[in-house]
Amino acid sequence: MRAAEPLSSDQPAPIVVVGAGMVGPVVAIYLARRFGGVTLLERQSAPAPADPVPTGRSLHVVVSARGWHALRDLGVEEQVLSISLPLRGRLEHSLTGKLTEQPYSRRGQEIWCVERSRLNRLLRAAAVATPGLRVRHDARVLAVEPDVPAVLVEGLEGIAGIEGTTGVEGRARLTCEHVVGCDGAFSRVREALTDRHDRVQMNTLGLGYKEIRIPAGPDGGWPLPHQFFHIWPRNRLLFSAFPNPGGDFTGSLFLPLHGDDISFETIQTDGDAVALFQQLFPDVVSLIPDLAEQYESHPVNSIVTMSCDRWIWRDTVALVGDSAHAMAPFMGQGMNCGFEDARILDECLARAGEPADWAGAFAEYESLRKPHVEAIAEVSIQHYQHLASPTTTATAQDVLRQRVTGRLYDVFSTKFTPLYERCAFTEEPYAEALQQHLATERLVDDVLIGRDGNALLDMSRNEFADVVNRSRPRT
Ligand SMILES: Cc1cc2nc3c(=O)[nH]c(=O)nc-3n(C[C@H](O)[C@H](O)[C@H](O)COP(=O)(O)OP(=O)(O)OC[C@H]3O[C@@H](n4cnc5c(N)ncnc54)[C@H](O)[C@@H]3O)c2cc1C
């Protein structure tokens, strides 16, 4: 990797990264390390260290294997670990208060959860400390010209080294060599590409969520076991909660946005909300004395998914993270996938020669990532079904399928791996993980259950292994 050269304050950076959310700082650090001059533009103000963590929006992300890989590359893994909590699985709360543990991994591996804003601050601080990388807050990108390329920015006026102001007060036109859009699901950078008739598909899945915080117990400790992601699945409805280091939990209530049945349209008042919790989440109500006030004051956020045909333009523009693919949050992979995008883009640029063939690297990046992103986006939507369906309401056929599949994972622990483990604890390309999962489902449904049914559960371990071995397609 080429050493980053220090940038004098009046030297325009050849690379502009738009957006310092979760993925932008990671991309900017990779690029600054490899090429030197990078400007990172963020429309929000820089958070002061003492600023309180904002409330009202679902505030946690889980970091899994792909995320850790990038954080390790950037040298911030230990810092991120120090602000994260380990989770060993989900803990399902039934309507009657029965608890069912669902470990994330058969080997006891943990995933880590961290407050989103704390992780974001840490990543922005790492970007500020990176030689060659300048972070500009309060800089809103209004438009991008992909052919030049140039970025029209509000909030950069009067800064040395910013060329070609348009003459409109408060705006500057920043010319550069490459623009990387990390500006999230409603990306301005993407707009510049999709203006050229490329397709964008946005969807809310008809689902919304509202943050409901569970305070720390009277002794300041966690009111629920903190080693778990807690879920209260009630079919299309779900309440879930992540622990915080301070003893409280950040909960999210997921409901359909609309509909005559239970939805954010019908649960409008704080009284409706308390009644809903009393009916569906009775073991939580007493833990949240200010439930009514929270329901009243916190916004409803939509789940937004987005896919688009084009992520790149020649050698000038690339999209990374949610600007290219916003996915449903239920597998906890959106940010992890964005970090993996950043790493793979960096690898493509590393292979791109000297001077770098940016057009070739962008094209390789897009073709390497797209099939996998499409796969994990699909899996993430389906996973809601899994999370929100109470195990107590599973049909006999579902239970048989789960038990046979569980047996398969147990008896052939190295040959068969559950999809969640593949996505969270390995860096196996998502599309391959999905293919393996579908092949396992076919084996269980069509071959094993289709032929032997319930008898599979009564077989000895060796008999079961024999049956499976005879049924598996030869590779
Ligand atoms: C409820 C929920 C839970 C989730 N949980 C997880 C999880 O557990 N694990 C996981 O991996 N992912 C999770 N995700 C997904 C994850 O939050 C996103 O994938 C991730 O934040 C994407 O990062 P990003 O940098 O691409 O976009 P963002 O984080 O949205 O950042 C975009 C940045 O660009 C800035 N910006 C936007 N427009 C402009 C502009 N015009 N000019 C300048 N700046 C601009 C914004 O201010 C923002 O800072 C979750 C998402 C949701 C909704």
HEC secondary structure over 214-271:
ECCCCCCCCCCCCCEEEEEEECCEEEEEEECCCCCEEEEEEEECCCCCCCCCCCCCHH
Q: How far is the CA of 361 from the centre of ligand 1 (A)?
A: 24
Among 146, 130, 153, residue whose Cα is nearest residue 25: 130
Domains of the chain (ranges, CATH numbers): 15-49+62-83+115-203+305-380 (3.50.50.60), 207-302 (3.30.70), 394-471 (no CATH)
**pLDDT value of residue 271:** 94
Per-residue DSSP letter, 431: H
Q: Is the CB of 153 under 6 A from ligand 1?
A: no
Give the residue whose CA is nearest to atom 38 of ligand 1.
183
Mean pLDDT of 281-303: 95
Mean pLDDT of 296-319: 96
Per residue in 404-417, pLDDT (tens digit) is 899 999 999 889 99
Point out the ligand 1 atom lying closest to the alpha carbon of residue 20.
Answer: 49
**pLDDT value of residue 37:** 93
Q: Does the structure show a pLDDT above 50 at 9?
A: no
**pLDDT value of residue 444:** 87
**pLDDT value of residue 10:** 45
Give the residue whose CA is nearest to atom 37 of ligand 1.
183
Give the residue whose CA is nearest to atom 35 of ligand 1.
19
Is 98 exposed, middle or buried, given 0-12, 13-18 or 19+ CB atoms closer than 10 A? exposed
Q: Is the CB of 89 under 6 A from ligand 1?
A: no
- In the block, residue with structure tokens 């929000």: 44
Give the chain's end-to-end CA distance (angstroms, integer): 40
Q: Which of 50-59, 193-202, 340-349, 451-460 has the lowest mean pLDDT?
A: 50-59
**pLDDT value of residue 50:** 62
Point out the ligand 1 atom lying closest to the alpha carbon of residue 209.
Answer: 1
Point out the ligand 1 atom lying closest to the alpha carbon of residue 336.
Answer: 11
Q: Which of 54-68, 113-127, 281-295, 403-417 has the lowest mean pLDDT?
A: 54-68
Q: Does the structure show a pLDDT above 60 at 191?
A: yes
**pLDDT value of residue 449:** 86
Q: Does the structure show a pLDDT above 90 at 222?
A: yes
Mean pLDDT, the chain, integer:
90
Q: Does the structure show a pLDDT above 80 at 362?
A: yes
Q: Does the structure show a pLDDT above 50 at 261?
A: yes
Lateral strand order in the sheet of 89-93: 99-103, 89-93, 228-234, 237-243, 249-256, 207-214, 301-302
Q: Is the CB of 336 under 6 A from ligand 1?
A: yes
Q: What angle do CA 40, 43, 44 make, to 5 degrees?
A: 105
Q: Does the structure show a pLDDT above 60 at 6?
A: no
Among 111, 381, 83, residue whose Cα is nearest residue 228: 111
Q: Is the CB of 329 under 6 A from ligand 1?
A: yes
State whether the Cα torsion 319-338-114-236 is positive or negative: positive
Point out the ligand 1 atom lying closest to the alpha carbon of residue 67.
Answer: 11
DSSP 287-333: T-TTHHHHHHHSPPEE--EEEES--EETTTEEE-GGGTEE--GGGS-
Q: Which of 160-174, 251-265, 298-312, 324-338 has the lowest mean pLDDT?
A: 160-174
Among 108, 106, 103, residue whose Cα is nearest residue 91: 103
Mean pLDDT of 148-176: 74
Q: Is the CB of 189 under 6 A from ligand 1?
A: no
Q: Is the CB of 22 under 6 A from ligand 1?
A: yes
Q: Which of 127-131, 164-168, 336-340 has the lowest mean pLDDT?
A: 164-168
The answer to whether 267 and 279 are in contact (CB under 8 A) is no
Q: How far is the CA of 188 from the centre of ligand 1 (A)?
A: 14
Hey, what's the torsion of the CAs at 116, 118, 123, 124, to 10 degrees?
110
Q: How far is the CA of 265 from the centre of ligand 1 (A)?
A: 26
Q: How far is the CA of 281 from the centre of ligand 1 (A)?
A: 29
- What is the three-class DSSP state of 180? strand
Most confident of 8-22, 195-209, 263-277: 263-277
**pLDDT value of residue 155:** 85
**pLDDT value of residue 5:** 40
Q: How far is the CA of 459 from the centre of ligand 1 (A)?
A: 48
Residue from 119, 322, 369 to probe ligand 1 pocket by mutation (most atoms less than 8 Å from CB): 322
Tell me which H or E stretch contains 171.
strand 171-175
* Of residues 391 and 153, more confidently modeled: 153
**pLDDT value of residue 208:** 95
Instruction: Determine how many CB atoms are found less than 10 A away from the CB of residue 257.
Output: 16
**pLDDT value of residue 387:** 86
Tell me which H or E stretch contains 78.
helix 77-82
Q: How far is the CA of 84 from the centre of ligand 1 (A)?
A: 18
**pLDDT value of residue 207:** 94
Q: How confident is the model at residue 439 (pLDDT cuts 50, 70, 90)?
A: very high
**pLDDT value of residue 2:** 39
Q: How far apart are CA 104 and CA 51, in angstroms?
A: 34
| % the chain with pLDDT above 70 | 92
Point out the ligand 1 atom lying closest to the alpha carbon of residue 139.
Answer: 43
Mean pLDDT of 257-275: 94
Point out the ligand 1 atom lying closest to the alpha carbon of residue 24.
Answer: 25
Is 185 exposed, middle or buried, given 0-12, 13-18 or 19+ CB atoms closer than 10 A? middle
**pLDDT value of residue 196:** 74
**pLDDT value of residue 4:** 38
Q: Does the structure show a pLDDT above 80 at 473?
A: no
Among 156, 124, 136, 128, residue whose Cα is nearest residue 51: 124
Mean pLDDT of 30-48: 94
Q: How far is the CA of 185 from the centre of ligand 1 (A)?
A: 7
Q: How far apart are CA 322 and CA 307, in angstroms?
A: 9
414 Cβ partners below 8 Å, 6+ apart? none
Q: How confident is the model at residue 57 (pLDDT cuts 50, 70, 90)?
A: low
Q: Is the CB of 332 under 6 A from ligand 1?
A: yes
